């Protein structure tokens, strides 16, 4: 029996509207570690706030999920990184 999802059309675990903004060959050739470095750099103002990197990434993930950009929910094991004000 097929599972039904409330995720927006075109959003999958491997693809989303943000991924589609980058040419496929560019996306495919960038290693995960480089994507992580880019994400951390952007989330921490170029590394100025590295102490908050985990919180910033988990918080952004929650926002992306809430807005239907990514279908993956933040797992309970990572929710501790969010502060109460992040949940608002």
Which sequence spans correspond to the domains of the chain?
19-87
**pTM assigned to the model:** 0.71
What angle, rounded to 10 degrees, do the helices at 53-66 and 32-43 form? 100
Distance CA 57, CA 64 (A): 10
pLDDT in tens, 26-70: 989 999 999 999 999 988 888 788 888 999 999 999 999 999 999
Decide if 50 contacts 74 (C-beta within 8 A): no
pLDDT at 6 over 60: no
């Amino acid at each position: 029996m097929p599972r039904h999802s409330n995720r927006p059309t075109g959003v999958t675990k491997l693809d989303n509207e943000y991924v589609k903004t980058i040419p496929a060959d560019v996306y495919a050739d960038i290693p995960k570690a480089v994507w992580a470095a880019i994400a951390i750099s952007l989330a921490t103002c170029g590394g100025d706030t590295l102490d908050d990197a985990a919180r910033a990434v988990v918080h952004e993930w929650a926002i992306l999920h809430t807005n239907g950009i990514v279908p993956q929910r933040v797992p309970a094991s990572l929710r501790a990184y969010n502060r109460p004000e992040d949940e608002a």
